[in-house]
């Protein structure tokens, strides 16, 4: 084999391996109470070095942190625990709105059941 062909094959293999590794990554966006650049620095110095974290992007205006991670090494609950360790609780972006809406009908049914029970006693 000539040298050009060996280099070409090697580069192809490296590119394939890097694309395969990148395809296994997932990104989650957290809502985090960010006040200033010091908050961002604290997150970058701690969360970026958590096991499995591949990339981290903080947005002060939107108060969000996008974390790209390897799901074979960590998960959302572990990432949230890491945020909690540095006193920056993190909720999955948009999750609170959906869960609040889902709980409201259940709470209303519970209240109706209590009201109904009290009416039956009278």
Which percentage of the chain shows pLDDT scores above 90?
Answer: 53
CATH architecture of 24-95: 2-Layer Sandwich (3.30)
Quick one: average pLDDT of 30-37?
A: 93
- Helices 37-46 and 76-85 cross at an angle (nearest 10°) of 120
Taking only the tens place, the pLDDT of each residue in 83-116 is 999 999 999 988 754 444 444 444 444 444 444 4
Spell out the domain ranges in the chain. Answer: 24-95
Taking only the tens place, the pLDDT of each residue in 4-22 is 778 878 877 777 666 565 5
Q: At 30, phi and psi to the nearest 5?
A: -105, 145
Q: How far apart are CA 80 and CA 58, in angstroms?
A: 15
pLDDT band at 119 (very low <50, low <70, confident <90, very high): very low
Q: What is the pTM of this model?
A: 0.60
**Pure H helices in the chain:** 3-23, 37-46, 76-85, 95-121
């Amino acid at each position: 084999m000539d040298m050009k062909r060996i280099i070409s094959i090697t580069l192809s293999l490296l590119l394939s391996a890097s694309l395969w590794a990148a395809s296994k990554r997932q990104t989650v966006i957290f809502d985090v109470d960010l006040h200033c650049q010091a908050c961002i620095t604290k997150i970058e110095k701690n969360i970026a070095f958590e096991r499995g974290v591949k990339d981290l992007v903080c947005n002060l205006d939107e108060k969000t942190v996008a974390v790209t991670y390897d799901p074979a090494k960590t998960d959302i609950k572990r990432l949230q625990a890491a945020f909690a360790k540095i006193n920056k609780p993190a909720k999955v972006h948009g999750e609170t709105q959906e869960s609040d809406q889902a709980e409201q009908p259940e709470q209303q049914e519970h209240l109706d059941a209590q009201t109904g029970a009290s009416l039956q006693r009278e």
